A and B are shown apart, each in its own frame.
Chain A
Amino acid sequence: GESVGLHLPTLSVQEGDNSIINCAYSNSASDYFIWYKQESGKGPQFIIDIRSNMDKRQGQRVTVLLNKTVKHLSLQIAATQPGDSAVYFCAEISDSSYKLIFGSGTRLLVRP
């Protein structure tokens, strides 16, 4: 089927390299942040999260960094693999809300 994200910013990396995907958020009241991965034709899938009382959180091959001063979030993927090719969204939520607000997304292409 048709891919989502045809008009999204694209990051192209060589297989095995590290990837860094950036996201700026706007709501200073947001205190919980999540990265989602969306493969073509599928719904978004949770990758990793971080709360505002943390600056860094690591998962398996992924690290999320949070800079509250400049309202910036990044996702680092180590040793990027072809299966990492997807659209990546950051999302934010405030403690007083249940509503997850998504950013516009970045398309990651992994070159073999």
Chain B
Amino acid sequence: GAGVSQSPSNKVTEKGKDVELRCDPISGHTALYWYRQSLGQGLEFLIYFQGNSAPDKSGLPSDRFSAERTGGSVSTLTIQRTQQEDSAVYLCASSLFATDTGELFFGEGSRLTVL
């Protein structure tokens, strides 16, 4: 597709389970970002990739969160031993380059609900 694609769109899981969220960026975009959006809140930066490297992981909330990117394309955000406070919409965005311009292209997000 032409846009950023995220899957699953909705995920309901039980506390303590692991989840994987996937992001397919726009083809050719070298920069990829993960944000988290809790209900009624703004977007919280999690991690950024330039190619397959993640220069900044400082936004990851805890060591239960990890992300990887392979082939300079698809990225996976993994949350281990999920907690109820992990419930949120996880948004992925990509841009052609990692520049100081703010024109990120966002996917529609993966809504995670931890029971």
Interface on A for B, CB 8 Å cutoff?
Answer: 1-2, 4-8, 32-34, 41-46, 49, 89, 91, 93-95, 97-105
Contacts and interface: CB of A to CB of B under 8 A. Distances in A.
A100 B35 CA distance: 10
A33 B101 CA distance: 9
Contacts, number: 73
Interface in B87-114: 89, 91, 93, 98-109, 111
Interface of B: 4, 10, 31, 33, 35, 37, 39-45, 48, 50, 56, 89, 91, 93, 98-109, 111
23 contacts: A2-B39, A4-B40, A4-B89, A7-B39, A32-B101, A41-B108, A43-B93, A43-B108, A43-B109, A44-B91, A46-B102, A46-B103, A49-B102, A89-B42, A89-B43, A98-B48, A98-B98, A99-B56, A100-B33, A100-B104, A104-B41, A104-B42, A105-B41
